[in-house]
Chains A and B, each alone.
Chain A
């Protein structure tokens, strides 16, 4: 594994220095891989938009670079009983338009967020089942019907806007008319496809922003983004392609910053059909047998994938989230490469000669996704599972993988996918990928293998109702042990590591949520 800890340490030290250093007159230009679709922080609940919103708007609680809660517009918060959380708001905060921040703005924002017209992906997810009550100007209670430990991880997605502009439309935000937040930068202009400009807000309540002005330039094409950095047209870029990392390391004018993300790349297997469409050479669905799933896991040389395919920029995975995240298992380690053991397991399961299998994968969604699928295919061939790889663009892949089969069932038998934990803890992947698929409760929404185990469901359910952190962490770890260690519901491959590059003299503090944010840029 090539990922140097010193990069991470360096980045953190540098970030500390920048905080101490303060600001000077300067412009920062950021090359973005994905342009946000709006300035309205409640319009489109997706990565690029939520990343941009962080500069101008703020939630009550702000996730830091490791997705740990830090005080935002709320100075403190605590559960006061099983179903009520109390948030003490920050006093003396002013919006960019000069109006004062208080509890009414919070109530207004929670009302507006789930109900924005034409929203392609709404924020209702985080507001559902919660009642926001103003207690006094600077105290808010959020009530739920059931005990709800993930309160903070939900509400950090709701950015607070001013209730002065109560009927502001998305268009009013995009034009700048209503785009007043409380963040360290204020919105200046957006020229779609070309640039977004923000400038420092001098009356910001916290540490002042490091740059006078920040310009975001959307550059989708990865080689063009790298070239723009090398040419000095931008100062920071995100999503540096792994193939360019060696070259950039050798360049004296560029600094690289790497950090592990909350995203796991994994294999999902059909565990619900007696006969599965993309398996050949047998009448049964061999993937229903946990021994076969274990055999596949043993057949994969994760170190080799990380070294060769990912150029060292990834971490072999044994569970759903890397070490250090809330609710991970202490005992699960990456499955060691053991082709002999794999063959033996296959023989025990009744497939001494293997079978045929097709692995479907996206080819433009995750770092090197199609190449990883090809490597996995070759490794499986070595234990007798003749594997074909079929990679396709993400816009085709996800529809077929989720609902391309009869009655909107998942179409494929064996897929390569990734999952980033938006909450920054283990319940998100457990509930979405491994809990029983159930539209009524909303569990297992991305369980494309349709694995179902009552014992596991009960553990996850209990964890999601346990407010006590220590107990919940244990329950999540137990659930992970059962789901991966025993049942092998999915096969973890590696945790994605993201790379940012800056021009010499700047630093970037990597974020586990993979966001490219000017707030993370510091000066050496």
Chain B
């Protein structure tokens, strides 16, 4: 077992190292941050001084080694724009993104599963077909466009919900959250729904497929033969069994919800990590871009590592296979 974990850890570190190379060099080809950050009135001499102040006069591989040396000690660099540690900036904005991601996850489950189960139970009905049609739209409409349309409808025309920002927050265990205040909830709803649409459609499809499959299984027939109410059959026996694939997939999708909330955060001016990364790319704030991508890589690698370890615990064949190689 420990051999397996050590191997996986080594592999994970290698992935992180390779990604740091790709990200660091990739970001450095885009352009020189100084051209965006300095006042255009600067003379050549002052521009040169700004380049030195940011350490950009060093050859790229030297910059990389400096970065690597600091990164190992947990320092991912100082933001060019804000002059504060990049890691701190990202961590500051993480709660907002996590809140949005979990709210979206919650919405996609509570809306997606009932609709999916209904569509699975009544595949030929008008309602069932409508749900499936809507899920196709949910998959294919671009998030940016849907976000703007939602703002136009709910904020501009109907005036029900605020169009932008995070609203009032309260502090819980040192973290600011907005879902505990009415104003915060009103601000949270539209961006969360926008972010949830894609996952919701996914859940609908998974739940529908699962329901259709499970309904023909012997144990469902048996339960019905036993005289259980249809309600109990669906809510207990069917639901439990379709949850397995749904939970597996959503667990994996949570990572992408966090990493790719960029568009939604931009449209709704939600002060999370995604908005920070977009701003940072536009301003060529390299340390923040690199730190953000490194954190995301780290997150995915960790999730995969945990999944691998869990699999090996659940299924001895996995680690045996590994040992034989």
Contacts and interface: CB of A to CB of B under 8 A. Distances in A.
Interface of A: 31, 35, 37-38, 43-46, 117-122, 124-125, 170-171, 191-195, 217-221, 223-224, 227-228, 230-234, 364, 393-400, 402-403, 419-420, 422, 428, 432, 437-439, 442-443, 445-446
B143 interface: no
B63 interface: no
Interface string B142-161: 00000010011001100100
B271 A432 contact: no
Contacts of A398: 31-32, 35-36
A428 B81 CA distance: 25
Contacts of A221: 266-267, 269
B81 A37 contact: yes
Contact of B92 (A192, A227, A234, A445): A192
B39 interface: yes
Nearest to B273: A193
Nearest to B151: A227
A118 B83 contact: yes
B65 interface: no
Nearest to B265: A193
B89 interface: yes
A125 B50 CA distance: 11
Interface stretch (B16-24, B196-204, B276-284): B276-284
Given A37-B82, A221-B267, A395-B36, A442 B164 contact: no
B166 A194 contact: yes
A17 to B, nearest CB: 29
Please give me the 10 A-B residue pairs with the lowest Cβ-Cβ distance, nearest first: A442-B43, A193-B271, A118-B83, A231-B155, A399-B31, A439-B44, A194-B271, A398-B35, A231-B163, A120-B37
10 contacts: A120-B38, A124-B46, A192-B271, A217-B164, A220-B266, A227-B164, A231-B162, A234-B164, A399-B31, A439-B44
B81 A217 contact: no
B167 to A, nearest CB: 9
Contact of B165 (A37, A121, A194, A223): A194
A223 B148 contact: yes
B163 A195 contact: no
Q: Which of A37, A192, A194, A420 has the most CB of B within 10 A?
A: A194
Contacts of B49: 122, 124
Nearest to B92: A192
A233 B44 contact: no
A397 B32 CA distance: 10
B268 A224 contact: yes
A220 B262 CA distance: 13
A58 B57 CA distance: 35
Contacts of B164: 31, 217, 219, 224, 227-228, 231, 233-234
B39 A46 contact: yes
A352 B316 CA distance: 80
Nearest to B267: A224
Contact of A395 (B45, B47, B269, B283): B283
B42 interface: yes
Interface in B267-295: 267-269, 271-272, 275-276, 278-279, 281-284
Given A191-B271, A228-B155, A445-B43, 7 more contacts: A38-B82, A122-B49, A220-B269, A233-B162, A397-B31, A398-B36, A439-B48
B170 to A, nearest CB: 14
A227 B78 CA distance: 35
Contacts of B282: 364, 393-395
A233 B78 contact: no
A422 B35 contact: no
A395 B163 CA distance: 29
A432 B40 contact: yes
Contacts of A45: 38-39
A395 B151 CA distance: 29
B78 A118 contact: yes
Given A37-B81, A192-B93, A119 B162 contact: no
Contacts of A234: 164
Nearest to A423: B41
A400 B278 CA distance: 21
Contacts of A192: 82, 89, 92-93, 271
A119 B155 contact: no
A227 to B, nearest CB: 4
A420 B40 contact: yes
Contacts of A118: 53, 78, 83
B256 to A, nearest CB: 22
A233 B89 contact: no
A507 B306 CA distance: 58
B84 interface: yes
Contact of B40 (A38, A119, A439, A446): A446
Contacts of A395: 30-31, 33, 35-36, 281-284
Contact of A419 (B40, B46, B84): B40
B54 interface: yes
A218 B30 contact: no
Contacts of A44: 37, 81
Given A217-B165, A396-B31, A125 B267 contact: no
B83 A117 contact: yes
Contacts of A396: 30-31
A115 to B, nearest CB: 11
A193 B31 contact: no
Contact of B80 (A120, A394, A397, A446): A120
A400 B31 contact: yes
A353 to B, nearest CB: 36
Contacts of B54: 120
Contacts of B165: 194-195, 217, 233
Contacts of B276: 193
Given A220-B269, A395-B31, A119 B163 contact: no
B159 A231 contact: yes
